[in-house]
Structure 1
């Protein structure tokens, strides 16, 4: 009778109260209640990976195990909402499952292994900084180069290619449109606008002499000697200032990518 009473009490408690108790006694009955209450999260996240070459039941099982893992690791005292804590854990386990089981394209083993480490690193860094980590952050955490991280991240998208002739699987009116129909053409004008905006902001960081050299060299195609004569300075000075401008331009560009 006591166990029945406890079960009834647990069912009447909210999630925060249950997590506080579970963190102390790890009661299996409480965990079962918490699992049941958060299966909606498993269903929601698992459905995002439908039609990627794996049965939904398999994805759902992986996500369910990840939910249990998240419940066991969750610390309510840190002040995070459980859904915010559990989501990256569940998604990470699903992606890990895909990388381990569903590599359709031939990818080097070292890249597959690095891809797994990147997934784990992302989870840790996201929880620490509360934001999506950049490639350089992951590279620093793993002790590898940024190029290696980018290579592995790009390769991870190749575990299950989808035909461009495949139709949409949603319930919209466009469900009979193929994926290739949805691929837009590149609009060069948008790129020009972005470039012009970047160049305009960059030129604000230059002095009058640097602006003159920048425009003459890269927009008017003047030679260094021609610019030197117009400014009555040596060609070596023009060359030195040009290198300085290019270095500054590269740094500004890297800050904005």
Structure 2
């Protein structure tokens, strides 16, 4: 197998422009290999490493969020792996174009799910709000950061309760949409607001229209074909796992999926195309 493809000793160091060309060769090979084999894993892992630059590119847009960049890259890599497992060369679209929405989607889901670092009791959530107000009031009055004792006196709490409220505040991250994010790179250390990265046009929105168009086409499929589509794209099973359920080989599943997807794609095409 290694004789049919370039042997890349350090795939993660491949330049993006070269990765684009090499990826097509590796996807060609991946399409004819059986899932779970050594050759399949080698090709798949090489594709992941070669395209990590896409993850780093997407993650760099969120460097000002305060989260560890390593964590953002890790969740973005999950999106990359999903894109590789779902990419079809017959789409006639560049893999990078196909993969970036998956990567960004995983990163956004990560931010959505981690707004609260920890769950805290309601009394501590309320104490956190009062702590913020008291801190601002005393800082304005004293022209310095207030001490724990001063905060406790104003809030009519013990110092231990103030300390507990401070710990609770660390479990919540609230960032203004107008807060400046440092944008590194080059010689221009410009700034951008968090709002610049929210509300932009999402390429995935057009999938909604595709789903509505697909519904009647899927309804015309046989029960078995619908079951295969459900297992692959809803349950996200591998072709090998689908084969085990149906009692057929992975290669048979691959051929079935290509036939079904080809039929659906043809149904979405305008008349005469």
Shorter chain as normaliser: what TM range? 0.3 to 0.5
Name which one, 1 or 2, has greater alpha-carbon Rg: 1
Larger relative contact order, structure 1 or 2 (CA cutoff 8 Å, min sep 6): 2
TM-score, length of structure 2 as denominator length: 0.38
Q: Which has the higher helix share?
A: 1
TM-score, length of structure 1 as denominator length: 0.40
